[in-house]
A and B are shown apart, each in its own frame.
Chain A
Amino acid sequence: MLQSAVQDFIRIFRINVENFGRTVAMAKVGLTKRYSGSSLGVFWSVVKPAIFVGVFWFAVTIGIRGNKPVEGAPYILWLLPGIMAWFYIQDALQIGGSSVRNNSHLVTKMVYPVETIPVSEVLSLFFVHMMLMLLVVAIYVFTGFGLSIYFLQLPYYILCCLAFSLVTAQLLSALTAVSSDVLHLVKSTMQMLLWLSPILWSIHKIDSSFLRRLIMLSPITYLVEGYRNAFVYNKWFFAQWEYAAYFWGLMIVLTLFSSFLFSRLQRDFADVL
């Protein structure tokens, strides 16, 4: 099974390399399509998270805890990098995770490399993510909080985030394509994931080291904490090399697993969609 999974991964990887130009072009179309017909266009992809952050910031700072800083940064500045990572992960799981089903016409009506569909969806979401991160950087600069040398490691964490998104989107898109039950399962898990991950609250507030380690098992924790490393924690990623090794180890296992599953389920796509 392991050997076959490696072969599956190589096959999917090769198809994606061969068709990369087309994948990027499809990602662009996907981006314009999502907001076509609305007068604000792509601007909506900024408005949606902005409203969420604004409302949440209002509820927390005015309502719950007062404007106490977290880890040396104002709550809003602490919140922003983590929640941006989350928004991307959430879309990758939800939109990327149902990409094959949503693009069924590519599967059932023409000959199209199905292996590239989740990739182009994740890439299209990645454009938006980059735009939002630019905005976050601008906020840090304009509020005078500023950026430190640790900011230089952001590309590394973005890469981690991209890898995680690609793998999970591939895995989930295959499962949701053949089973709509999985689609509903993914959708209903999202709220749970948001509150169980240290996104809106700080993991460093947890006293129980067992509980903290349990939460750290989730790759989402690694990504959210990583974004904060670059902006507010002032911590290098190689200072936590064991955690990085764990994350990438998990990624490799997940990649092989999802390649195996995608390849097995792929031949059913055209028959069930």
Chain B
Amino acid sequence: MTETNTPTQPKKNAIRVKKLTKTYRIYSSSVDRALAPFRKKDNARKFTALKNVDIDFPEGEVVAILGRNGSGKSTLLKMITGVTTPTSGEIEVNGRISAMLELTSGFDPELTGIENIYLRALALGIPKEEADRRKDEIIKFADIGDHINQPVRTYSSGMKARLGFAVSVSVDPDILIVDEVLAVGDDIFKLKCIEKMEEFRQQGKTILFVSHSLFTVKAFCTMGVWINKGEVMEYGELGPVVLKYEEFLKRERAKQREKERESAGGEDVAMEKKDILQVTGFRMFDDSGEQTTAFSYGEDIHFEFTYEVKKPIERLSFCYTVRNAEKLEVYMSDKQNARNRINSQVGKHTLRVKLKKPNLLQGEYLLSGELWNMDSTFYVGHSNKRPFSIIQSEYLGTGITHIDYEFDND
């Protein structure tokens, strides 16, 4: 997957970023910004999106740019393409850049697809003759049929992405910047994009690739940059960078969960559930007391389990649900019924439940259920989609349950 970078012949750099810093100035009102040129003292708050970034992007590499939302990825790409200017630092670009910064938004909604192709060419300073030559290629690649002659406002987001990608790759760039575009198109289109990018890669072109799909990144990129809070955390061969980034994501998720738990309520919630209540020894058995998960039609179904209350819980009760094999609910007990209260004294207890002659027809069923404190802030499952089956000796019709009937006839 990784192209070997022979040390004897170092690659040229397609893009060199040196000590790049971008600071956004935030004003309390837009009038302040308009008047700023006339003020001696700038009264803006500063927000630094990128801090002292130094990266060289070698030619012929596919570089994944990783980072969470708001980490500064887009700011970096915007400066590389020249859409916005750095506050300090330098960017050196060797070659023609084609950027797809949110490629669906650069179109004029009132103009047709074809008109937009020409408009884009015009805006990018491409001569009309060249646009004429490239037009057919673009239409073929976009592959959106007659819609090409309709106003872009009538397009679906997928169609816009197709057209956008087609236009961007058509300028035959030396450097291609792909910013989260594969999120919209369908699988066939994604494949087409990847193929096109692969083709570019083989031609020795440089691709900067932003995606939150680590799967695509791993399949396609050769190098990685991980940016966090405006700083480059890691840069180099893809494998180690992705590994570190994934570790970081896991840590962040864990932190997030911790926070949620803390904000959810007092110390009881922060404790593990099993420190309060633990369920063990679940089993199903038939009338004769024999453990089984296969019951004959019309027979009682029993289940039991042991639960240990370690801290006092108010209003502890139980509930259960029976679903059929397609996860369709057959029956759910009344969760609010006070009749279902169970012993909540500290200590070990056993709960035995008998489902009385359920007229379930032959088939596979699932049993789920919980112990809970009736205001849904605390619950522990005693069983989760436990399969059991009903065996029938006589044919009684089809469906889920048997509805007994009688009839008169004169």
A residues engaging B (CB < 8 A)?
19, 22, 25-26, 29, 33, 36-37, 105-112, 175, 178-182, 260-261, 264-265, 267-268, 270-272
| Interface membership of B81, Cβ < 8 A | yes
Q: Choose one: A110, A181, A264, A270; the contact of B106 (CB below 8 Å).
A: A110
Q: Can you pick out 8 interface pairs between chain A and chain B where the beta carbons lie within 8 Å of each other?
A: A33-B110, A105-B106, A107-B83, A108-B101, A110-B123, A111-B124, A179-B34, A270-B85
CA distance A265 to B36 in the complex (A): 8
Instruction: Indicate if B251 sits at the interface (CB-CB under 8 A).
Output: no
Residue B185, interface by CB 8 Å: no
Nearest 8 CB-CB pairs, A to B?
A179-B30, A264-B37, A270-B84, A109-B106, A179-B34, A111-B82, A178-B33, A105-B106
A residues within 8 A CB of B34?
175, 178-179, 181-182, 265
Q: Are B37 and A265 in contact (CB under 8 A)?
A: yes
Closest to B33 in A: A178
Minimum CB distance partner of A178 in chain B: B33
- Chain B 31-69 interface 0/1 with A at a Cβ cutoff of 8 Å (1 = within): 101101100000000000000000000000000000000
Min CB distance A30 to B, Å, is 10
Chain B's nearest CB lies how many Å from the CB of A229? Answer: 36
Q: Is the CB of A181 within 8 A of B125?
A: no
Residues in chain A near residue B99, CB distance under 8 A: 110
Q: Count contacts between A and B, CB distance < 8 Å.
A: 82
Distance in Å: Cβ of B380 to nearest Cβ of chain A: 52
Assess whether A111 is in contact with B81, with CB atoms less than 8 Å apart: yes
User: Are A26 and B111 touching (Cβ within 8 A)?
Assistant: no
Using CB atoms, name the residue of chain B closest to A263. Answer: B37
Complex: A3 Cα to B54 Cα, angstroms: 35
- Tell me whether B123 and A179 are in contact (CB under 8 A): no
Interchain nearest-CB distance for A251 vs B (Å): 21
Q: Does B151 sit within 8 A of A, measured CB to CB?
A: yes
> Using Cβ atoms and an 8 Å threshold, which residues of chain B touch A178?
30, 33-34
> Are A272 and B33 closer than 8 Å at their CB atoms?
yes
A179–B31 CB distance below 8 A: yes
Q: Which residues of A contact B2 (CB under 8 A)?
A: none
A29 to B121, CA, bound (A): 12
- Measured between alpha carbons, how far is A19 from B125 in the docked complex, in Å? 9
Known contacts A36-B110, A109-B102, A265-B37, A22 near B125 by CB under 8 Å: yes
Asked if B24 and A271 make an inter-chain contact with CB atoms under 8 angstroms apart, the answer reads yes
CB distance from A38 to the nearest CB of B (A): 11
B186 to chain A, nearest CB (A): 24
Q: Mask for B231-244, Cβ within 8 A of A = 1, else 0? A: 00000000000000
Is the pair B101, A109 in contact by a Cβ cutoff of 8 Å?
Answer: yes
B143 adjacent to chain A (CB < 8 Å) = no
**Nearest-CB residue, chain A, relative to B86:** A267
Closest CB of chain B to A115's CB: distance in Å? 14
Q: In angstroms, how far is the closest chain A Cβ from the Cβ of B254?
A: 34
Distance in angstroms between the alpha carbons of A255 and B244 in the assembled complex: 55
Which residue of A37, A105, A110, A179 contacts B110 across the interface (Cβ within 8 Å)?
Answer: A37
Whether the pair B123, A26 counts as a contact (CB closer than 8 A) is yes
Chain B residues within 8 Å of A260, by CB: 37
Chain B residue nearest to A268 (CB atoms) is: B33
B105 within 8 A of A: yes
Complex Cα gap A65–B283 (Å): 102
B319 to chain A, nearest CB (A): 55
Q: Which of B20-36 contact A (CB under 8 A)?
A: 24-25, 29-31, 33-34, 36
Report the separation of the CA atoms of residues A111 and B101 in the bound assembly, to the nearest whole angstrom.
11
CA A272 to CA B352, docked complex, whole Å = 66
Which chain A positions have C-beta within 8 A of B110?
33, 36-37
Q: Establish whether residues A29 and B119, one from each chain, have CB atoms under 8 Å apart when the complex forms.
A: yes
Q: How far is the CB of A58 from chain B (nearest CB, A)?
A: 34
Residue contact B36 to A270, C-beta cutoff 8 Å: no
Nearest-CB residue, chain B, relative to A270: B84
Q: Contacts A110-B81, A111-B83 given; 14 further ones with Cβ under 8 A?
A: A22-B125, A26-B122, A26-B123, A29-B122, A108-B101, A109-B106, A110-B99, A110-B124, A175-B34, A179-B34, A181-B29, A265-B36, A267-B85, A271-B24
Select one of B30, B78, B108 contacting A181, CB under 8 A. Answer: B30
- Of all chain A residues, which has the CB nearest B98? A110
Chain B residues near A19: list those with CB within 8 A.
125
Chain A residues, Cβ within 8 Å of B115: 29
Q: Mask for B88-116, Cβ within 8 A of A = 1, else 0?
A: 00000000000101100111101100010
Is the Cβ of A25 less than 8 Å from the Cβ of B81? no
Q: A111-B83, A175-B34 are contacts. A33–B108 as well, Cβ < 8 Å?
A: yes
Check B25 against A108 for contact (C-beta < 8 Å): no
Task: Chain A residues near B125: list those with CB within 8 A.
Answer: 19, 22
B-chain residues with CB within 8 Å of residue A29 when the two chains form the complex? 111, 115, 119, 122
Q: Are A180 and B30 also in contact (CB < 8 A) when A33-B111, A110-B83 are?
A: yes
Minimum distance in angstroms from A48 CB to a CB of chain B: 18
- Give the Cβ gap from B363 to chain A, nearest Cβ, in Å: 57
Bound state CA distance, A106 and B124, in angstroms?
A: 9
Contact yes or no, A108 B33, CB < 8 A? no
Give the CA-CA distance A22 to B119 in the complex, in Å: 10
Bound together, the chains give a CA A19 to CA B122 distance in angstroms of: 11
Q: Is the CB of B83 within 8 A of A264?
A: no
A264 touches B33 (CB 8 A): no
User: From B100, which residue of chain A is reached at the shortest CB distance?
Assistant: A109
